[in-house]
Amino acid sequence: MTHSLRIPDLTIPARPSPVGPGDAGDPALNDVDVIRVRGDARLAGAVHVVGAKNSALKLMAAALLAPGRSLITNVPRITDIAIMGEVLRRLGCGVRFGPDDPVDPMVAHGGVERSRSVLIDVPERPGAEADYDLVRRLRASICVLGPLLARRGYVRVAHPGGDAIGSRGLDMHIAGLARMGAEISGEHGFVIAEAPDGLHGADILLDFPSVGATENLVMAAVLARGATTIDNAAREPEIVDICTMLNNMGARIEGAGTSTLHIVGVPELRPVRHATVGDRIVAGTWAFAAAMTRGDVTVTGLDPAYLEVALDKLVAAGGLVETRGDAFRVRMDDRPRAVDVVTLPYPGFATDLLPMAIGLAAVSEGGSLITENIFDGRFMFANEMMRLGAEIRTDGHHALVCGRERLSGAPVRATDIRAGAGLIIAGLCADGLTEVSHVHHVDRGYPDFVADLRALGVEVERGTAPEEPDLAI
């Protein structure tokens, strides 16, 4: 049976999505997008955080589990969302983006939308293959594996791409699906999963609380026969968000937010309307930016409890942090004190905030030891931070950062989403001008980053510059 929400047509003229250099339609293949910031800045004011990229992408995939029209609101207007929309279109879904709120003051006064809604019309029989040309650009697209296997009994998905921050294998995804009765094979760069008789419940123990594996296995289990238990499951707010949406669709999931999830399979799900949880990584970026620039910033749109460990670090660094409802304020009056940081799965310090932690350490008084436990390539951007004058020594999963009073403006290159944002923020603490290139990475995680910087008092501009040749031999 197909259930449908009665939702008005949300078709609107689409704003062109930013693309990386060399993508189809790029008129200047030798030019790259850059963001230039003037240093000696102090951030002050308020910034609103919209829905989490890491949740919205998975919510869009979850819509595949129910034929009919689902509406997801508070979706960030970023490149990755546009790519996921195209992934779903090629699977046979209708995908329409529209304004979150037609009377939003930003829209009413001619401003740029930071968030929007996406209406996903899922057919009775969606496609079963996710194309390589899209999957290579968006690692999160692997999350269609679980729902398509549950719906179709067969799926062929290319090995994913995404940020170059280290090894992120699919072993736990595959092992969990195999325990649920799937036959997994691979050929020519594709993962092929088959369950012609359907999936069945199973007891699954994850070696590591992987967010992606937890999401894929939950989405597969909600339509499987019998009960599934996932131990050592990820606990992130984004996991809670997807479980909330699935339960509203008719799933039976208990334990969201804990390390053990219990899922009882149901015969079918129904479409829903669901609002995306606020983006804790974007919120954390602004929190660290306030501390690094000795500023005073209020962030709205997120439960501060989701950033408890990060905000505690800022207090230890000498900052004043006030929380209330869905907002928090960070003020730093003096030079920050050095603090050590260790990244861990939620509720620990988020790996995506590591570039900001290194930026804070680079301008703090004293030395900080930064330890990365999630991705083996997260320190790839350290050389770029050192071009700004940061004193960083890395050894495996550790970085020793000796703080300086000021950094020095220089041209640097974004290597991934969070590194790009971290370099821009570090440039605010430098003398002179800092130019960050390849900021198409930043576009993948931060809606209208430049406008937010301007609203907080930063002298900033976006433009293009010739790409520097790679002289490595």
Tell me how far apart the alpha carbons of residues 408 and 389 are, in angstroms, rounded to a whole number: 6
Query: Domain extents for the chain?
Result: 31-49+279-466, 53-275
Tell me how far apart the alpha carbons of residues 435 and 461 are, in angstroms, rounded to a whole number: 10
Which residues make Cβ contacts (< 8 Å) with residue 176, sequence separation at least 6? 202, 204, 206, 213, 216, 217, 220, 230
DSSP string for residues in 332-400:
--SPPBP--EEB-STTSB-GGGHHHHHHHHHTSBSEEEEE--S-TTGGGGHHHHHHTT-EEEEETTEEE
Tell me how far apart the alpha carbons of residues 149 and 410 are, in angstroms, rounded to a whole number: 49
Q: Which pLDDT score is estimated for 118?
A: 97
Tell me how far apart the alpha carbons of residues 193 and 24 are, in angstroms, rounded to a whole number: 31
Return the closest-CA partner of residue 58 out of 141, 133, 129: 141
What is the enclosing helix (H) or strand (E) of 62?
A: helix 53-62
Return the closest-CA partner of residue 249 out of 226, 228, 266, 230: 266
Rg (CA), the chain: 22
CATH class of the structural domain 53-275? alpha beta
Q: Which two tokens stand for residue 267?
A: 């015969």
Q: Which pLDDT score is estimated for 472?
A: 44
- Which segments are annotated as binding site for UDP-N-acetyl-alpha-D-glucosamine? 139, 352, 374
Verify whether residue 9 is a known catalytic residue.
no
The answer to whether residues 429 and 293 touch, using CB atoms and an 8 Å cutoff, is yes
pLDDT tens sequence across 291-317: 999 999 999 999 999 999 999 999 999
E strands, 188-295, in order: 190-194, 203-205, 227-231, 252-254, 260-264, 273-275
What is the enclosing helix (H) or strand (E) of 155?
A: strand 154-158
pLDDT averaged over every residue in the chain: 88
Q: Which pLDDT score is estimated for 167?
A: 42
Higher-confidence position of 292 and 187: 292
Confidence at 467, pLDDT banded by 50, 70, 90:
confident
pLDDT tens sequence across 416-452: 999 999 999 999 999 999 999 999 999 999 998 999 9
Torsion of CA 197, 201, 205, 206, to 10 degrees: 60
Tell the CATH superfamily of the 31-49+279-466 domain. Answer: Enolpyruvate transferase domain (3.65.10.10)
359 has a pLDDT exceeding 50: yes
The answer to whether residues 461 and 33 touch, using CB atoms and an 8 Å cutoff, is no
- Which segments are annotated as binding site? 53-54, 139, 352, 374
pLDDT tens sequence across 360-393: 999 999 999 999 999 877 888 999 999 999 999 9
Summarize the confidence of residues 229-245 as an average pLDDT: 98
Say which of 33, 80, 100, 163 is annotated catalytic: 163
Where does residue 223 rank: exposed (0-12), middle (13-18), buried (19+ CB within 10 A)? Answer: buried
Higher-confidence position of 134 and 210: 210
SS3 content of the chain, % helix, strand, coil (to 5): 30, 30, 40
Tell me how far apart the alpha carbons of residues 120 and 258 are, in angstroms, rounded to a whole number: 29
Give 115's strand partners.
Answer: 76
256 has a pLDDT exceeding 50: yes
Q: Indicate the pTM of the whole model.
A: 0.89
3-state secondary structure 242-271: HHHHHHHCCCEEECCCCCEEEEECCCCCCC
- Which segments are annotated as binding site for phosphoenolpyruvate? 53-54
21 has a pLDDT exceeding 90: no
Which residues make Cβ contacts (< 8 Å) with residue 105, sequence separation at least 6? 111
Confidence at 415, pLDDT banded by 50, 70, 90:
very high
Q: ∠ CA 159-164-169 to the nearest 5 degrees?
A: 40
Report the largest interatomic distance among the alpha carbons of the chain, rounded to a whole angstrom: 65
- CB 251: neighbour CB atoms within 10 A? 23
